[in-house]
Structure 1
Amino acid sequence: MDSEVLRQKLEQLTGKRTGIKQLGRQHSASLFGIGAEEQDQPVVHEGHLWVPLYENDGRVTAIWLELDGLTPMEIQLVNYAARNFAVALKATGLKEEGEIEARQLSGWLNAQLEQEKNEAEIPDEMTLKGRLVGEMIPFLLVSENVHNPQVTYRSLMKLLRSYFENEILLIPLQEKEWLILARKELLTGGDDKEDEEESADDLLAQTCMGLHELIASEWVGVFHLAVAPAIIPVKGLTGSVALLRETIILGRIFQVGDYIHLPWELHMERLVNSIPDDRRRQLLGQIGDYTSVLADKEMLLTLETFFEMDCNVSETAKKLYIHRNTLLYRLDKIKQETGADVRSFGDAAIVKLAMLLYKVTKRK
């Protein structure tokens, strides 16, 4: 059980407002007496019961509960539950990594996303809200390792800090799904001026590739990684997570074999995926029969690479490590079997659409 579940259960049990808050050093010392033997004891202050969960660098994170109207037995039960949780938490060592605050925000985020509240603002009771000011870059990491041991918060945080120089927040969302928030200035070097040679999208893509390589070098298995443009998390976090989740879903469908997925490269895929299944099958039939080409792995790879290289014959041949004449032969064969010359824009657009429709219908 994490702290957010504890808070919800106490609120349901008592019918009173509860919350989790990280106190400043001065407030922590005055309320709990940091450094004294009594520092782990609950405190009644201004009509609230405060139970310390853990202390980090002089700052205490505590759970609070309104006392008005509660019986002595209810207060005793609340205190017992919170104290047992604090003892168990201390034994796990989670306090050193700030996992409890992250899981509190995770519970709120998942609740908003389940209700499709993609514009919800982070409430004041979220302990991490004070650290979510300014622009941040969101990454979503999803593991497909079914049989391997689950990656721990501590081990992943340690790895991320080595890459982002310690300026990151890690939020565990669902099982084997992690949200990573990095300060925008870490990617721009503190310079807000756009680099003439590298666009913001290129910089994000390079950072994403570097991060994926680092994770892949440390852990065996398949990991998907997506990144979105900078946001101000207090107001834009839920919408950004929804976009990143959709991006990875689309990447798994349309970019088989790739593990880095960028939302700005999936506009047409997003449109095709939004079409009802029956309508997609109908459109695929109306466009024409491209099955013989799209079912051939070599031809499908050729088309995917050709479109990736903006229909440039020379660059496509280099990317596929084949002779230019071999590529031209394949393109001619596609024209013979389908009647479409993908070297012309109109036919290329139709074949691209047919390829996307085929992927989302035939591979389901």
Structure 2
Amino acid sequence: MDSEALRQKLEQLTGKRAGIKQLGRQHSASLFGVGTEEQEQPVTHDGYLWVPLYENEGRITAVWVEMEGLTGLELQLVNYAARNYAIALKATGLKEEGEVEARQLSGWLNSQLEQEKNDAEIPDDMTLKGRLFGDMVPFLLVSENVHNPQLTYRSLMKLLRNYFENDILLIPLQEKEWLILARKELLTGGDDKEDEEESEDELLAQTSMGLHELIASEWVGVFHLAVAPAIIPVKGLTGSVALLRETIVLGRIFQVGEYIHLPWELHMERLINSIPDERRRQLLGQIGDYSSVLADKEMLLTLETFFEMDCNVSETAKKLYIHRNTLLYRLDKIKQETGADVRSFGDAAIVKLAMLLYKVTKRK
């Protein structure tokens, strides 16, 4: 049971509002007497029952429940449930700084996304809300490692702290799925001036490449990483996570062999994926038979690279490490087999559309 489940259980048990909050050092000391024998005892204050869960560097994270109208038995049950949860935390090692609060936010996020509430604002009873008002860059990390040991919060957080110099948050979502929130300053190194040479998209892409390389060098296996533009998480987090999840799905379909996926590079793919399956098959049939070319891995790679290089022959040849004449030969072969000359804009657009339709229908 995570902290959000505990909060919901207490509300169902008592019919009263409940929440989990991390207190500051001074408030922790005055309420619980940090460093004394009474530190782990429940207290009542201003009409609320407070039960401490764990302490970290003088800050206590506690569960609170409204007391008005509660019977003595209900108070005992609240204390019993909270204390059992605190014992379980110690036994499972979830006392790592920020993990309880992160899992509380995770429970709320997953609940909102399951209901497709992509514009929901983070409620006040989320302990981390106070850290989610500034501009932050969201990353979504998904592991495909089936047999390898699951990443732990502690190990991943340690790695991220070595990579990001600024304040970060790590939110475990589903199994093998992690949301990383980093301060926007990571793009500029704290400089308020916009970078004159590189756009924000380029900086995000470079940061993602570095992060993915770090993770891949630390753990064996396949990891997908997506990043979205900076948001103010308190209002835009659910929508951003929904976008990142969709980006990972699209990347797996349309960018096979790639592991960093950027939403601004998948506009056409997003459109194709939204078309019903039967209609996609009809469109593919109406466009023409390109299967002989698209089923050839060498030709498919040539087309993908050609489009990536904005149909520039010289740059495509360099990227593929082949002679320019070899590339021209392949393009001529595509024209002979399909009747489409991808060096012209109209034919290139049709072949690009056919390629995307082929990928998603073949996957089905």
TM class by shorter chain equals: over 0.9
Q: Counterpart in 1 of 2:340?
A: 340
Distance in 2, Cα, partners of 1:147 & 1:166:
33
Shift of 1:69: 2.4
**1:198-213 alignment runs, 5 A limit:** 198-213=198-213
Q: Which moved more, 1:118-127 or 1:10-19?
A: 10-19
Contact 2:166–2:185 at 8 Å: present in 1 too? Answer: no
Shift of 1:94: 2.4
Q: Counterpart in 2 of 1:358?
A: 358
Distance in 2, Cα, partners of 1:356 & 1:159:
36
Q: In the TM superposition, what whole-angstrom CA distance separates every residue of 1:299-357 from its partner, at most 9, and x where no partner exists?
A: 11110011011111111111111111111111001000100000001100000000001
Shift of 1:190: 1.4
How many matched pairs?
A: 364
Contact 1:290–1:354 at 8 Å: present in 2 too? Answer: yes
**1:233-248 alignment runs, 5 A limit:** 233-248=233-248
Q: In the TM superposition, what whole-angstrom CA distance separates every residue of 1:217-255 from its partner, at most 9, and x where no partner exists?
A: 000100000000010111111111011001010000000
Contact 2:140–2:226 at 8 Å: present in 1 too? Answer: yes
Q: Does residue 266 of structure 1 match 2:266?
A: yes
Q: Which moved more, 1:73-82 or 1:168-177?
A: 73-82
Q: Counterpart in 2 of 1:149?
A: 149
Contact 2:166–2:186 at 8 Å: present in 1 too? Answer: no
Distance in 2, Cα, partners of 1:116 & 1:192:
35
Q: Counterpart in 2 of 1:126?
A: 126
Q: Give the aligned residue type for 1:242.
A: A
Distance in 2, Cα, partners of 1:152 & 1:146:
15
Shift of 1:166: 5.3
Gaps of 5+ in 1: none
Distance in 1, Cα, partners of 2:94 & 2:258:
34
Distance in 2, Cα, partners of 1:72 & 1:105:
31
Q: Give the aligned residue type for 1:82.
A: A
Q: Counterpart in 1 of 2:28?
A: 28
SS across alignment from 1:34: coil
Q: In the TM superposition, what whole-angstrom CA distance separates every residue of 1:128-155 from its partner, at most 9, and x where no partner exists?
A: 0111121000000000011111100000
Shift of 1:363: 1.4
**1:100-179 alignment runs, 5 A limit:** 100-165=100-165, 167-179=167-179
Q: Counterpart in 2 of 1:310?
A: 310
Distance in 1, Cα, partners of 2:26 & 2:91:
26
Contact 1:55–1:61 at 8 Å: present in 2 too? Answer: yes
Q: Percent identical across equivalent pairs?
A: 90
Distance in 1, Cα, partners of 2:29 & 2:125:
21
**TM-score with structure 1 setting the length:** 0.98
Q: Counterpart in 2 of 1:191?
A: 191
Q: Counterpart in 2 of 1:7?
A: 7
Contact 2:140–2:177 at 8 Å: present in 1 too? Answer: yes
Q: Give the aligned residue type for 1:17.
A: R
Distance in 2, Cα, partners of 1:194 & 1:248:
29
Q: In the TM superposition, what whole-angstrom CA distance separates every residue of 1:25-69 from its partner, at most 9, and x where no partner exists?
A: 222111111121101100112222110011122221110112222
Q: Counterpart in 2 of 1:287?
A: 287
Q: Which moved more, 1:276-285 or 1:91-100?
A: 91-100
Distance in 1, Cα, partners of 2:351 & 2:69:
69
Shift of 1:71: 2.3
SS across alignment from 2:212: helix
How well do the aligned residues superpose, as a CA RMSD in angstroms? 1.1
SS across alignment from 1:330: helix
SS across alignment from 1:63: strand
Distance in 2, Cα, partners of 1:34 & 1:131:
24
Distance in 2, Cα, partners of 1:188 & 1:121:
28
Q: Give the aligned residue type for 1:180.
A: I
Q: Which moved more, 1:225-234 or 1:61-70?
A: 61-70
SS across alignment from 1:96: coil
Q: Does residue 325 of structure 1 match 2:325?
A: yes
Distance in 2, Cα, partners of 1:192 & 1:291:
51
Gaps of 5+ in 2: none
Contact 1:138–1:182 at 8 Å: present in 2 too? Answer: yes
SS across alignment from 1:208: helix
Q: Which moved more, 1:40-49 or 1:253-262?
A: 40-49
Contact 1:317–1:323 at 8 Å: present in 2 too? Answer: yes
Q: Which moved more, 1:159-168 or 1:197-206?
A: 159-168
Distance in 2, Cα, partners of 1:211 & 1:147:
23
Distance in 2, Cα, partners of 1:357 & 1:43:
62
Distance in 1, Cα, partners of 2:187 & 2:5:
35
Distance in 1, Cα, partners of 2:188 & 2:238:
24
Q: Give the aligned residue type for 2:62.
A: A
Contact 1:160–1:166 at 8 Å: present in 2 too? Answer: no
Distance in 2, Cα, partners of 1:281 & 1:99:
46
Q: Which moved more, 1:139-148 or 1:160-169?
A: 160-169
Q: Which moved more, 1:51-60 or 1:126-135?
A: 51-60
